[in-house]
A and B are shown apart, each in its own frame.
Chain A
C-alpha cells in the first residue's frame, strides 16, 4: 500500500524539505535495477536502488512473479562485488524477495560458498538467507554445516544457526530434531543470546517429552542463566513442569522456591514473569501468592506505563479467583483510575470492582462517574459488566448501583453499550426483588428517549412480564402508551402487546386499557391493528371488569411449549393447502447444541437476549420437555435439574453428558448423546444403567433414541423411582447400547443392516446437593432473624487437615450445593477463621439457611461450627446428616 508521503517541516534548515523517495514509482525503480547487470558495478548506486526496492516492499507494495524473478536474477549478479556494505544489502534483498524453489538454485552455490567462508559474518548471513529460502532437499545437504554453526565459537554464527533451527522446526521437524546434542551444548554457552536462542529451540524440540523438559528445567534452575530473556523462558518452562506435575506429586510444590527467588532478580522483566507464573499456579495458596502480589503492587506505582499495565492486568486476573489477595493493592489501584492510559485505568476500575467491599462501593462509584465520560464504549461495557457483578455480590447496594446505571443510560453511547446497561438492569431486577420497582422505572424513562428499536421492544416485553406484578401497575401505562404515539410500527406493536398484558393481569386496569387498545384500531400499520383487534376480542372488549380466564392468558401470553426452532422448521416445511397447519404436529424434543457450538466457550446468559433468560428458562425448557414424554408426565413438578455432567472424555467417538432431573418421588437421567463419526448412523440408542450401588432407586421407565446421525445430538432417558421427599443418594454405572450402521460418505445413505454395539460411559452419582436448589437471599441477617430459632440445629465438626481454609470452605459449599450469600464464599488472606453464609431450598420447597463458622485448629486442621435454620426441623437435621456423612 504505497501511501502518498506527507512532507513535514523539518527542524533543521540545512535539510531540504523533500523526501528522498518523493514520487517513487515501482516501474521506474525496476528499470533502475538494471544497474545490477552492469559489468562495472557501482556499489553505492546499487545500494541506493536496493534501498528503494526495500522502501517499496516495506510499504506493502508487491511485485508480480515476473518482476520478482527479474529483480532476483539481477540481485544475484551482485555476489560478484566484494563491497561489504553491498553484500549485506544483497542478503536482505534475497530474503525479502523469497524466490521460488526453481529460482533458488541460482544463488545456492554463492550462499554455500559464503557459508563456509572464513569471514564469520558471511557465514552468519548466508545461514540465515539459506534457511529462509531452502527446502527439505537442500537442507539435508547443508545440515552438516548448520550443526557445526550451532556450536561455532562466534556467537553471531551460533545464534543465526539456532534461530534458523527455530524456523526450520516448523517445516522440517525431523531434521532439526537430530541437532539436539549440539543445541544442548549451545545451552551452556557463555554468550547470553546464544543461550537464549538455544534454550528456546531445545524446548521446542523436546516439548512433547515431559521427562526431558523436567530434566532441562531441573538443571538450569540450579545453574546460571545469563540473560533476562532466557530467564523468562526458563520461568515459563518451569510453570509448565509445575502444572504437569501437580497431580502426580504430593507435598511442597516443586520449583516454587526458584520462582520465588526470581522475584528478587534485578531485571523487571524476570520479576514480572515470575510473579505472573506464581499467580497462575493451579490451586495457589495465600502464602505462595503473597510475595508475588507484593512485587506487582510495587509495579503499580512505577513510572513506566508498561509495568503499570502489566501489573494491573495480572492483578485483574488474580482478582477473579482470589479477590481478597488483591485488596492490599486497592489504594494504589485507585490512583490508577486517573492514569492517562485508558487501558490501565479500565483494568484498575474493574479490578477494584471485583475486590472492593460493601463500604467502599459508594466512594468507588463517585470516582467511576468522572472516569466514564472520557473512555470509549468498549471500555465502558467492561465497567458496566463489573458493576453488575458487584451489585449481585452486594445486593444491599442496589440503590446506588442502579442509580449509576440509570445515569449512564441517559448519556451518549452506541447500541452495544446501551444494551449492556439494559441487560444489567434487567438481571438486577430479576435477582434482587427490592430493586424491581426502581429498575422498571429507569427502563421506562429510557424508552421515552431510546433510539434503538430492538432495545425498546425488548424493554416493553419485559415490562409486560414484570410490570403487572408490582404494587402499582398503573404508573407504567403512561410510558407504554406514549410509545403508541411516538414510535415506529415495530415498537408500537410491542407496546400494544404490553398494554394487553397489563389488561389481562390487572383486572382493575382492564376498562382503561380497553379504551387505549381501541384507539390502536385506527393505527396505520397492519400488525398494530391486528394485535389490538386480537387482544380486544379475546380479553372481552366490552369493557366489563371480569377476570380473564387462565386459558385465554395462556393462549395470548403463555410461552409456546414447543421449541421455536422446531416450529420454524415445521412452518418452512408446511405447504399451503386445504389442510390448515397443525401446531400439535410440531416435534417437542429439544435438540441440544450441535458439536461446534458445544465446544465453543459458554457464553453467559444476558438479560434481554431471550427473556426470560438464565437458569429459570432452562428449568422451564426441561420441565416442558419431560412433561411432553408420556412415561414421565405423572411425575409431578420438577424440583431441580443439574448442570450437564460429562460421561465421556473430550474428542471421543461418542460424546455423552447427563442431566439429572429430580422430582419428589423420581429421578430422570437425560443422556445427551452426540455421534462424532461421519461414517456412522446409530439407531435405537439406549443407556443400560446398573443401579446396584444405588439401593433406594428402582428403574421404572426408559425412552430410547430412535436415530442418532452424525453431529445431530439427541437424547435418551432413564427414569428411577425413589422414596418420596428424601434425599436418596447412589452411584450408577452406564453403558451406551445401540445399533451401528455404516454410512456411505459420498451419498450420505446408511446401509440397511446394522450391528449391535456397546460403549462404556463414566459412572454417575446422585448426591445430596442434587436435592438442594441454589436460591440466594438479598439480606441474610434479616432472613436469618425472620426464620427464627425454632428449627435451628447447631453442631461442631472437625474437618481434619486441609490445604487451606478457603479449600475447606469451598468443599462444604460444594457438598451442600447451596448459594453463598454476600460474597462470604471468599476467604480473606491469612485469616485463621471465617464465616460463610449459605441459602437454598430443600426438596419439598423448604427454605434453608446455613451459617458456617470455620477456624484453624493447629497449623492445618480445620474445625467447623454448623448452624442450620429452616422451616422444618427434619430438614435442619438432614443438612447436618449430609455434612456428617460427607
Chain B
C-alpha cells in the first residue's frame, strides 16, 4: 500500500498531500516527520537525487524536483524499490505537466493538471499507471497510443 504522497516547497510548507490508510490523527505526525527528514537531508541535494529511509515497517523515498520536495511513503509490497518506480513516474509526469522541473510557482500554476496526473498514477494506495506518455493522454481523456501497449 502506498500510504502517502506529499509535496512541499523548499521551506517545508505542504503544497499537496494524499494519504491512504493513515488515520487523520496520525497525519500531522507523518507530515512533520517527513518535512524534518527533508530539512535534514535535502539541502544541497541534486535535482531528482533519490533519498531513502525506513521507519519501523514503512519505507520513505524522497527527492527534490526543482523548487519542490516530493515524499512517498509505502509499506509491504511498496518497498524502497517499488517506491523508486512510483517516484520516477511522479517526477516525470510533473515535469511533463510543467514542461520542466517546476519552481514552486510553476507547480502551483499547474496544480490542477498535477492532481489529474496523481489521480492516474495512484488510486487509493495502489499504483495504476506507470507510463508518462500514457498518463499525459489519459488526463486529457484521450486513449493511449495503441503502440505503447
Residues of A within 8 A of B144 (CB): 155-156
Q: For the side of the interface on A, what is the size category?
A: 35 or more
B77, B105, B130: the one contacting A193 at CB < 8 Å is B130
Q: From B17, B83, B103, B123, give the contact of A163 (CB < 8 A).
A: B123
Binds B, one of A8-16, A451-459, A607-615, A756-764: A8-16
Interface assignment of B58: CB less than 8 Å from any CB of chain A: no
**A708 to chain B: closest CB distance in Å?**
36
Q: Is the CB of A1 within 8 A of B14?
A: yes
Among A121-129, A627-635, A661-669, the one that faces the other chain is A121-129
Interface residues of B in 40-64 (CB under 8 A from A): 41, 49-54, 61
Cα–Cα, bound, A476→B6 (Å): 56
Q: Is the CB of A229 within 8 A of B127?
A: yes
Query: Nearest Cβ distance between residue A232 and chain B, in whole angstroms?
Result: 7
Q: How far, in angstroms, from A332 to B110 measured CA to CA in the complex?
A: 44
Contact partner, A15, options B10, B11, B103, Cβ 8 Å: B103
- Bitwise, A1-45 to B at CB < 8 A (1) or not (0) is 101111010111001110111000000000000000000000000
Q: A85-128: contact bitstring with B at CB < 8 Å (1 yes, 0 no)?
A: 10111011001000000000000000000000001111011001
Which residue on A lies nearest to B106, using beta carbons? A15
Q: Which A residues are in CB contact (< 8 Å) with B126?
A: 163, 166-167
Contacts of A305 in B (CB 8 A): 49-52
Contact A306 B61 (CB under 8 A): yes
A59 to B27 CA separation, bound complex (whole angstroms): 11
Measured CA separation A48–B31 after assembly (Å): 27
Give every chain A residue within 8 A of B115 (Cβ-Cβ): 51, 54, 58, 92
Are the C-beta atoms of B54 and A343 separated by less than 8 Å? Answer: yes
Most buried by A among B15, B16, B52, B103: B52
B81 and A3 within 8 A (CB): no
With both chains docked as a complex, state the minimum distance between the C-beta of B76 and any C-beta of chain A, in angstroms: 10
Q: Are A232 and B67 in contact (CB under 8 A)?
A: no
Tell me if B105 and A85 are in contact (CB < 8 A).
no
Find out whether the CB atom of A309 lies under 8 angstroms from the CB atom of B138.
no
User: Is the pair B129, A159 in contact by a Cβ cutoff of 8 Å?
Assistant: yes
Taking the complex as formed, is A486 at the interface, i.e. its CB lies under 8 A from any CB of chain B?
Answer: no
Contact with B along A127-157 (1 / 0, CB 8 A): 0100010000000000000000000001110
**Is A88 within 8 A of B111, CB to CB?**
no
Instruction: Please tell me if the beta carbons of B105 and A4 are within 8 angstroms of each other in the complex.
Output: no
Inter-chain contact B9/A6, CB cutoff 8 Å: yes
B24 vs chain A, min Cβ distance (A): 8
Contact A343 B52 (CB under 8 A): yes
Interface: B84 (CB within 8 A): yes
- Chain A residues with CB under 8 Å of B82's CB are 229, 232, 269
Contact A5 B13, beta carbon cutoff 8 Å: yes
Across the interface, A17 reaches (CB within 8 A) one of B9, B27, B105, namely: B105
User: Per-residue CB proximity of B131-149 to A under 8 Å, as 1/0?
Assistant: 0001000111111100001
A666 to chain B, nearest CB (A): 47
Known: A10-B103, A21-B108, A167-B124. Contact between A120 and B116, CB under 8 A? Answer: no
Chain A residues within 8 Å of B116, by CB: 88-89, 92
Is A273 an interface residue when CB atoms closer than 8 A count as contact? yes
B-side contacts of A87, CB under 8 Å: 141
- Bound-state Cα–Cα, A612 to B142, Å: 72
Tally inter-chain residue pairs, CB-CB below 8 A. 157
Interface presence of A867 (CB below 8 A): no
Contacts of B123 in A (CB 8 A): 128, 163, 167
CB distance from A124 to the nearest CB of B (A): 8
Evaluate contact between B11 and A163: CB separation under 8 angstroms.
no
Beta-carbon contact of A8 and B52 below 8 Å: no
Given the complex of chains A and B, what is the CA–CA distance between A190 and B139 in angstroms?
A: 23
Q: Name the residue on A nearest B123 (C-beta).
A: A163
Q: A10–B98 Cα gap in the complex (Å)?
A: 15
Q: Is there contact, CB below 8 Å, between B149 and A310?
A: no
A87 to B139, CA, bound (A): 10
Instruction: Provide the bound-state CA to CA distance between A313 and B84, in Å.
Output: 16
Q: Which residue of A lies closest to B81 (CB)?
A: A269
Closest chain-B Cβ to A46's Cβ sits at a distance in Å of 11
Are the C-beta atoms of A8 and B143 separated by less than 8 Å? no
Q: Does A60 contact B (CB under 8 A)?
A: yes
Nearest-Cβ distance from residue A114 to partner chain B, whole angstroms: 11
Q: Mark B72-109, 1 if CB is under 8 A from A, else 0.
A: 00000101111111000000000000000001111011
Chain A neighbourhood of B79, CB < 8 A: 310
Are A122 and B81 within 8 A (Cβ)?
A: no
CA distance A486 to B126 in the complex (A): 60
Shortest A333–chain B CB gap in Å is 17
Residue of A nearest to B67 (CB): A8
Contact of A156 with B52 in the complex, beta carbons under 8 Å:
no
Instruction: List, in ascending order, chain B residues with CB within 8 A of A313's CB.
Output: 54, 80
User: In the assembled complex, how far is the CB of residue A92 from the closest CB belonging to chain B, in whole angstroms?
Assistant: 5
C-alpha gap A119/B50 in the complex (Å): 39
Name the A residues within 8 Å of B52 (CB-CB). Answer: 305-306, 309-310, 341, 343-344
Task: Across the interface, name the chain B residue whose C-beta is closest to A6.
Answer: B11
Answer whether residue A843 sits at the interface, using C-beta atoms and an 8 A cutoff: no
Cβ < 8 Å to B, chain A residues 605-663: none
Bound state CA distance, A6 and B85, in angstroms?
Answer: 30
CB-CB nearest in chain B for A12: B103
Q: Which residues of B contact A89 (CB under 8 A)?
A: 112, 116
Q: Check A292 for interface membership: any CB of B closer than 8 A.
A: no
Bound: A344/B41 CA distance, A:
13
Contact A229–B85 (Cβ < 8 Å): yes
Cβ of A331 within 8 Å of any chain B Cβ, yes or no, is no
B112 touches A51 (CB 8 A): yes
Per-residue CB contact flags for chain B residues 14-49 toward chain A (1 = under 8 Å, else 0) read: 111110000000011001000000000100000001
Q: Hey, which chain B residues are within 8 Å of A48, CB to CB?
A: 112
Question: What is the bound-complex CA distance between A166 and B77, given in angstroms?
Answer: 14
> Is A50 an interface residue, CB under 8 A from the partner?
yes
Are A60 and B27 within 8 A (Cβ)? yes
In the complex, are the beta carbons of B84 and A306 less than 8 A apart? yes
Q: With a CB–CB cut-off of 8 A, which chain A residues contact B103?
A: 8, 10-12, 15
A465 part of interface (Cβ distance < 8 Å): no
Determine if A54 and B112 form an interchain contact, defined as CB atoms under 8 angstroms apart: yes
Q: CB distance B143 to A154 under 8 Å?
A: yes
Please, which residue of chain A has its CB at the minimum distance from the CB of B144?
A: A156
**Residues of B contacting A84 in the complex (Cβ-Cβ under 8 angstroms):** 140-141
Q: Is there contact, CB below 8 Å, between A59 and B17?
A: yes
Indicate if A47 sits at the interface (CB-CB under 8 A).
yes
- Please determine whether B9 and A236 come into contact, CB atoms closer than 8 angstroms: no
- Which parts of A38-89 form the interface with B (CB within 8 Å)? 47-48, 50-51, 54-55, 58-60, 84-85, 87-89
Query: Which residues of A are found within 8 Å of B128, using beta-carbon distances?
Result: 159-160, 163, 193, 197
Q: Which of A121, A191, A307, A341 contacts B143 (CB 8 A)?
A: A121
* Residues in B whose Cβ lies below 8 Å from that of A121: 138, 141-143
Interchain CB contact under 8 A, A85 and B14: no
Docked Cα-Cα span, A229 to B128, in Å, equals 11
Is A366 part of the contact surface with B, judged by Cβ < 8 Å? no
**Minimum CB distance partner of B115 in chain A:** A54
Q: Are A47 and B112 in contact (CB under 8 A)?
A: yes
Residues in A whose Cβ lies below 8 Å from that of B41: 341
| Residue in B closest to A88 when the chains form the complex, CB atoms | B141
Residue of B nearest to A308 (CB): B52
Nearest B residue to A84 via CB reads: B141
* Residue A514 is within 8 A (CB to CB) of chain B in the complex: no
Contact mask for chain A residues 301-342; partner B; CB cutoff 8 A; 1 contact, 0 none: 000111101100100000000000000000000000000010
Whether A20 touches B85, Cβ cut-off 8 Å, given contacts A6-B9, A60-B17, A159-B129, is no
Residue A358 is within 8 A (CB to CB) of chain B in the complex: no
Kindly list chain A residues whose C-beta atoms are within 8 Å of the C-beta of B16: 58-59
17 contacts between A and B (CB under 8 A): A6-B13, A10-B103, A20-B109, A58-B16, A59-B16, A84-B141, A85-B140, A91-B119, A119-B141, A121-B141, A122-B141, A124-B138, A163-B128, A190-B149, A236-B77, A305-B52, A306-B61
List 7 extra interface pairs beyond A1-B28, A54-B111, A92-B116, CB under 8 A: A8-B9, A8-B11, A16-B105, A85-B141, A269-B84, A269-B85, A341-B41
6 shortest interchain CB distances as A-B pairs: A51-B112, A121-B141, A6-B11, A309-B52, A58-B16, A3-B13
